[in-house]
A and B are shown apart, each in its own frame.
Chain A
Amino acid sequence: MSRHITVDPITRIEGHLRIDVEVDGGAVTKAWSSGQMFRGIERILLGRDPRDAWLFTQRFCGVCTTVHAITSVRAVENALGLEVPLNAQYIRNLIVAAHAMHDHIVHFYHLSALDWVDVVSALKADVAKAAALGEKLSPWPGNSRQQLQAVKDRLAGFVAGGQLGIFANGYWGHPAMKLAPEVNLLAVAHYLEALEYQRKVNQVVALLGGKTPNIQNLAVGGVANAINLDNQATLNMEKLFYVKQRLDEIKSFIEQVYFVDVCAVGAMYADWLGYGKGVTNYLAVPDFPLDTKGTSFDMPGGTIMNGDLKTIREIKRFDEPYFRENVSENIAHAWYAGDWTRHPWDEETVPKYTGYKPDGKYSWVKAPRFDGKVMQVGPLAQVLVAFTLGHEPTVKWATKTLETAGTIAGAKLGPEVLHSTLGRHAARMIRTAVISELATRHWELLVENIGKGDVAIFNKPVFPKGEQRGFGFHEAPRGTLSHWIVIEDGKIANYQAVVPSTWNAGPRDDKGQPGPYEASLVGNPVADPERPLEVLRTIHSFDPCLACAIHTVDVGGNELARVRAL
């Protein structure tokens, strides 16, 4: 008999992401992904100064602040054909790198680890055995017996005091939880240590960006970081070394902790390398520009179709026609007036809510398409594209990951296992390790360039009369983000943000093609319909971020999310 399960977070306004699945014979047969909140936030920008757009777009989402800021200035620069000084590119790249490392570490340890780690089970761990295992896998000092004993004691105190709130979202004791108590203890220890690394990355963004979480140093045409190596008030050598030191510390955590943990979880849940594949058309854009025009990049982008690496087609420039001409959005199943497919420059956002109808309109999220095809975006897409194009650091870390996880699992793992729920976690970690290397490289490029006497940071934008159209993209933590702008007589006439979670969480289109979340859930096992942990595992592997809007503290102990199994 088939059962229908709804996972629906409730908030003060409508809520954010709702997932519906039909389960038959212990597996998902059909799925729907629905954005439960109207965004339409771009309308705020109409009539404004394009130079101010980034300040507003940075507030679209409290988590993805810098990514919307950087994409916005790139869109305006593209519309004006404005070059960006090298120092500004490198400084932006360092902020991009720091933000991405921060976001990926938080995602693994604080947002999704509890899908795989049974915290309560860690209390049963043999500390000596856990330390031996930890020391075998990594030289990390946090894996010592003393450290792990301290974590276990503190956790025991928490549980004894009834303070499980922190892990209240975890399905502990669930039949799909398979890690040994010792592995769970190591994971809890690293969960806590990750908080400190979150702070270290934040310090890098704060120093370069002026403030966090909302940076202040951007400008259309460059950055506002005055450079003078002898001046205390500007970006100087002392501050640059502070940044370098933080980057080195973060790199150690990524290589000695995050890398090892993902390999271990991947090996111990190897069956999850077989679930969650879904859409295998992949889209990633190039990032980490190396020149003033955006024609040379340190991280490549492109498309792969039908999971066939031979179909690779590279996206090479900030003004790439292959990208510009192929992006569209369809609203056949989204709550907007009409049922069109349009290019972002020609879109209008007219909300028209008509109720949740699985066969009709059922989401506030539009369905983006690339040349009419559904695309998966995110770290997996980016890593597969870079791997296929022979990007040296990506090939190195991907190979190392597959070898290490394979050794722990006692099996030979090839790149094909990456098309899966756990493959998305592995790809995110591979990308983090690559970005950590790129951060060091762009720090060196910046110092070298300043050393040559170049202190330029800004080219002044000039807005001619008449219309200009532009687009900017960024390979953000959750995937390809693009902003599309139409400027008329120096003012914003249209603005659309096509965000990564829209690509992945979008509904079916006019041809009935399901979006990546929907496709990835089909075939997932569900052991207990009341506790659909497996559904969360696959959805979390995409790192959903749909809220992009609101924060109201709930002090009434009200229900914040619910699961309904019918």
Chain B
Amino acid sequence: MDVRVIGLGNVLMGDDGFGPYVIKTLEALYEFPADVSLIDAGTPGLDLSPFLMDADVVILIDAVNASGDAGSVRIYGREDLMRPGLQPRLGPHDPALAETLHALDLAGVGPEAVLLVGAIPSPVTTGPGLSHPMRQAVPKAVERVINMLAVLGYPSVARPKPLEPDVWWERKPASTLH
């Protein structure tokens, strides 16, 4: 089996960095079976395809555009992600997840199962750092992912000594004369 947990989003754009933040938190708190890989994929647009190709299960983590309170965590299935939008695309970032999944399916190399753990962001701003509601959503999303992996038969083990999540983008500038 090949299970991939993929965090999407831009860490320099406030709450959009939710996915990578959750990945770093998962890595810091748990150890995972060899079949499970954790990927901070950033905002790859159509370049997402190598990360989804031939996977058995893909669990995506991202900020989602949905109605509800900021920080609400929701689970979505494949159909939710693949709704077609009949619109022209100008750049490589525009609707990419649905298109990538469709393209991989047509090529016969799409993932067997796709789930999205989404959280509703506060208005997105320039600059690293999650808003208060999104920060509170992190442990909820972590729990969802850990439960999904357990149900799939890939239980993760809590680290006896949890590490500090390596969210380097939130570190404040410091003096560096060497």
Chain A residues in the interface with B (C-beta under 8 A): 7, 9, 11-13, 16-17, 19, 38-41, 43-44, 46-51, 55-56, 59-63, 65, 102, 106-107, 110-111, 154-155, 158, 163-166, 168-169, 171, 191-193, 195-196, 198-199, 202-203, 212-214, 462-463, 465, 489-491, 536, 539-540, 543-547, 549-563
* CB-CB nearest 3 A-B residue pairs: A62-B43, A166-B102, A165-B84
**CB pair B106 A63 closer than 8 Å:** no
- Note all chain A residues with C-beta closer than 8 A to B107: 192-193, 195-196
- With both beta carbons as reference points, the residue of chain A lying nearest to B98 in the complex is identified as A165
Q: Does B3 contact A (CB under 8 A)?
A: no
- List the B side residues contacting A62 at CB < 8 Å: 10, 41-45, 47, 93
Contact A166 B121 (CB under 8 A): no
Stretch at the interface among B24-32, B60-68, B136-144, B146-154: B60-68
Which of B16, B49, B84, B102 meets A551, CB within 8 Å?
B16
Question: In the bound complex, do residue A555 and residue B90 qualify as a contact, i.e. CB atoms below 8 Å apart?
Answer: no
Could you tell me if A490 and B176 are in contact, using CB atoms closer than 8 angstroms? yes
Q: Tell yes or no: B167 within 8 A of A by CB.
A: no
State whether A17 and B16 are in contact (beta carbons under 8 Å apart), knowing that A63-B47, A553-B116, A560-B85 are contacts in the complex: no
30 contacts between A and B (CB under 8 A): A7-B90, A9-B90, A17-B90, A55-B169, A62-B10, A62-B47, A63-B47, A107-B92, A158-B106, A165-B83, A165-B98, A168-B86, A192-B103, A193-B107, A195-B104, A196-B109, A213-B44, A214-B40, A539-B90, A543-B92, A544-B91, A549-B10, A549-B12, A550-B16, A551-B9, A551-B10, A552-B62, A554-B65, A554-B85, A555-B83
Q: How many residues of B contact A (CB 8 A)?
A: 68
Q: A166-B105, A555-B83 are in contact. List 8 more A-B contacts (CB 8 A).
A: A7-B90, A38-B126, A59-B11, A168-B99, A547-B94, A549-B13, A555-B76, A559-B85
Give A36 Cβ to nearest chain B Cβ, in Å: 10
Who on chain A is nearest to B102 by CB?
A: A166
Closest to A111 in B: B92
Per the bound structure, the CA–CA distance linking A462 and B53 in Å amounts to 43
Residues of chain A with a CB closer than 8 A to B67's CB? 556
**Chain A residues whose CB sits within 8 angstroms of the CB of B94 once the complex forms:** 9, 11, 16, 547, 560-561
Shortest B92–chain A CB gap in Å is: 5
Chain B nearest CB, measured from A175 CB (Å): 16
Partner of B91 from the list A16, A40, A155, A164 (CB cut-off 8 Å) is A16
Closest CB-CB distance, A530 to chain B, in whole Å?
12
Contact across chains for B91 and A546 when beta carbons are under 8 A apart: yes
Q: How far is the CB of A144 from chain B (nearest CB, A)?
A: 17
For B160, the chain A residues whose CB sits under 8 A away are none
* Cross-chain contact A557 with B85 (CB below 8 angstroms): yes
How many Å from the CB of A495 to the closest CB on chain B?
12
Chain B residues near A561 (CB-CB < 8 A): 85, 87-90, 94
B residues 99-125 in Cβ contact with A at 8 Å = 99, 102-109, 116, 118, 121, 124
Say yes or no: A168-B87 contact (C-beta < 8 A), given A63-B92, A213-B47, A490-B178: yes
A301 to chain B, nearest CB (A): 24
A49 B174 Cβ-Cβ under 8 A: yes
Residues of A near B145 (CB, < 8 A) are none
Q: Indicate if the CB atoms of B177 and A154 lie closer than 8 Å.
A: no
Given A62-B10, A110-B103, A199-B50, residue A552 in contact with residue B87 (CB < 8 A): no
Whether the pair A552, B178 counts as a contact (CB closer than 8 A) is no
What separation, in Å, do the CA atoms of A41 and B13 have in the docked complex?
Answer: 9
- B-chain residues with CB within 8 Å of residue A199 when the two chains form the complex: 49-50, 53
Could you say which residues of chain A place their CB within 8 Å of the CB of B9? 551-552
- B62 cross-chain contacts in A, Cβ below 8 A: 551-553
Which A residues are CB-close (under 8 A) to B89? 9, 111, 169, 561
CB neighbours of A547 from chain B (8 A):
43, 45, 91-94
A166 to B107 Cα, complex, angstroms = 11
Q: Of the candidates B43, B53, B87, B126, which one forms a contact with A560 in the assembled complex, judged by CB atoms under 8 Å apart? A: B87
Query: Which of B41, B43, B80 has the most chain A CB atoms closer than 10 A to its own CB?
Result: B43
Nearest B residue to A102 via CB reads B47
- Say whether A536 contacts B90, CB under 8 Å: yes
**CA A544 to CA B48, docked complex, whole Å:** 18
Decide: A169 near B87, CB < 8 A? Known: A40-B126, A550-B16: yes
B76 to chain A, nearest CB (A): 6
With A and B bound together, what is the CA distance between A59 and B124 in angstroms? 16
Taking CB atoms, residues of chain B closer than 8 Å to A17 are 90-91
- Is A560's CB under 8 angstroms from B106's CB? no
B106 CB contacts on chain A under 8 angstroms? 154-155, 158, 163, 166, 192
Q: Name the residue among B49, B63, B116 with the largest chain A CB count within 10 angstroms.
A: B49
Instruction: Tell me, in angstroms, the Cα distance from A65 to B64 when the chains sit together.
Output: 23
- What residue of chain B has the Cβ atom nearest to residue A11's Cβ? B94
A44 close to B127 (CB less than 8 A): yes
